[in-house]
Amino acid sequence: MGAAEWAILTLLAVLWGGAFFFIEVALAGVPPITLVLVRMTLAALLLYVAMRLMGQRLPGGWRVWRALFLLGLLNNALPFMLYAWGQMAITGGLASILNATTPLWAVVVAHLLTDDEKATPGKVAGVLLGIVGVVVMVGGDALAGLGDALVAQIACLVGALSYALASVQARGFRAMGVRPMALATGQSITAAALLLPVALIVETPWRLPMPGVSVVAALLGLAIFSTTFAYVLYFRLLETAGATNSLLVTFLIPITAILLGTLVLGERVEPGQLIGMALIALGLAAIDGRPWAWLTRRRQPLAPPPPRP
């Protein structure tokens, strides 16, 4: 990747890491389902405008929209709700580390549901390392049923699994001729449509008190920067750097989330969380394979100079 791609990758990590910070602030005045509904509704409107400015249109046909509804559920509505609900009991930094398990789940899901992405020994080793990292991070007390945040952490892990399922399901849109920005807009629209009745029934948002300035600012930041702008950058990165390089953002998101939570919200980072994050990072590196290939190349002896005539 060139300097421009690395800059986009870093900015994307800041935007998506900042999402956990924005959620933490917004939860002070808005319940989780309503929070996600506002996020996706605003993002859908802004993405639609951006898509039209790019000269693209929403796809047509019931077959495509049926797939978009499934993608909106798996990639937006369900995981966003689970993470927002989970952050009512755990910090944004911990939620972001659990979110980093998505590629680990993706290896398992792709192996079970596809024919061309079977697990290799390196990927299996990466998944096992990641599982150990999650166990270390969650902690023995939680696993024994003594931790108050166990259910919230499980919810975040299920959210990561949902992202992995979405990554496999989204592969079919290329064959349908759906362009990336239209895909992002369509899934945001369907996610908002799915969330609306749930929020109305469960949280009756019209009865909520008017949120404060900080909550409104967090909602706007979440929708504008961490969703709309992030999607635009992500799909540009996909086109210029490819899917494998784009996955490197997973390594960087927890750093941003932890720094914001610690410096701005005063959240405490436990040693077990840092150890778990390191193990998950090693697992992701094993799955990606490039760090090991780089080390192998570094260790190879230099070729002898050609003989002189």
Q: What is the C-alpha to C-alpha distance for residues 117 and 107, in angstroms, rounded to an integer?
A: 8
**161 with 106: CB under 8 angstroms?**
no
**Helix (H) and strand (E) counts for the chain?**
15, 0
Q: What is the C-alpha to C-alpha distance for residues 283 and 18, in angstroms, rounded to an integer?
A: 24
**Predicted pLDDT at 306:** 41
**Predicted pLDDT at 123:** 76
Q: What is the C-alpha to C-alpha distance for residues 28 and 35, in angstroms, rounded to an integer?
A: 11
Query: Nearest 5°: CA angle at 250, between 244 and 253?
Result: 145
- Mean pLDDT, consecutive 10-residue segments, the chain of 309 residues? 78 90 94 96 96 90 94 95 94 84 82 78 79 71 60 92 88 85 94 97 92 95 94 78 63 78 78 79 72 57 43
Q: What is the C-alpha to C-alpha distance for residues 220 and 43, in angstroms, rounded to an integer?
A: 9
Q: What is the C-alpha to C-alpha distance for residues 159 and 174, in angstroms, rounded to an integer?
A: 24
The pTM of the full predicted model, rounded to 2 decimals, is 0.83
**Predicted pLDDT at 140:** 57
**Predicted pLDDT at 305:** 42
Residue 35 to residues 155, 203, 214, 219, 263, Cα–Cα distance (Å): 17, 10, 14, 7, 24
Tokens representing 32 are 């989780």
**Predicted pLDDT at 31:** 96
Which amino acid would we find at residue 48?
Y
